[in-house]
Amino acid sequence: MSIPKIKICGLTSLSDALTAARSGADYLGFIINFPKSPRHMSPEAVRKIIGAIKPNFPKIKFVGVLVNQDLSVAENLVSEIGLNVIQLHGSETPDYCATLRKKVEVWKALVIKSPEDLKNLADYQATADKILFDAGKGIGQEIDLTLLKNIAVDILAGGLGTYNVARAIQIVHPQIVDFNSALESAPGKKDVDKIRAAVAAVGIINQ
């Protein structure tokens, strides 16, 4: 079983982003233009963090998380901020994904709470680069892994922390694990020790 790559999402400060980068994260995620979230960041703030991180960590990729943004806004953010990936976490259609994919790598998040939530999976698999399976928008709830046991899981999110990530990896074998609220000391503020412990927990899966 291969070790999945790691995304630390919901970053709101340069210090937290540096901790994630130094700990070995492969992707850093920022929630952009979504004031309803305590992890909301402005495009300018994200651009500054990426500008500070990128020269010293050239292998890290930067993910902008968007919710129901106009397509033109999403396209402009790619070059404006320097994003490698756009993660769509709203009701964006497969056609939206296909169009944006011409500009940048696209991840489409699907909130999975029952088998019914998988009905459009094939349409999104055909139009997005990767599918992120989640239990909700930053609510810290764990996803029901039994719903994903017969699915090739690109990205697994939903309440992942040091206490459950090894079990989740062993059950659904995701390509990428996505940590967010379980690594916080307060909404929008990451805990240094939790970040380091989570990355370490993924790294010892095969040991």
What pLDDT, on a 0 to 100 scale, did the predictor assign at position 136? 75
CB-neighbour burial class of residue 186 (10 A; exposed 0-12, middle 13-18, buried 19+): exposed
Domain ranges of the chain: 5-203
Structure-token pair, residue 110? 């699907």
Out of 16, 97, 134, 178, pick the active-site residue.
134
Provide the residue type at 141 as one letter.
Q
Using pLDDT thresholds of 50, 70 and 90, give the confidence band for residue 32.
very high
pLDDT of residue 137: 59
The answer, yes or no, to whether residue 140 has pLDDT greater than 90, is no
Q: What is the pTM of this model?
A: 0.95
Q: Does 134 qualify as catalytic in the annotation?
A: yes
Per-residue pLDDT averaged across 153-175, rounded? 94
* pLDDT bucket at 207, cuts 50 / 70 / 90: very low
CA distances to 63, 83, 144, 147 from 111, rounded to whole Å, are 18, 23, 11, 12
Superfamily classification of domain 5-203: Aldolase class I (3.20.20.70)
Q: What is the mean pLDDT of residues 140-154?
A: 90
List, for residues 39-95, the tens digit of each pLDDT value: 999 999 999 999 999 999 999 999 999 999 999 999 999 999 999 999 999 999 999
Mean pLDDT, all residues of the chain: 94
Phi and psi torsions of 183, nearest 5°: -105, 15
> Which residue is catalytic, options 9, 16, 154, 178?
9
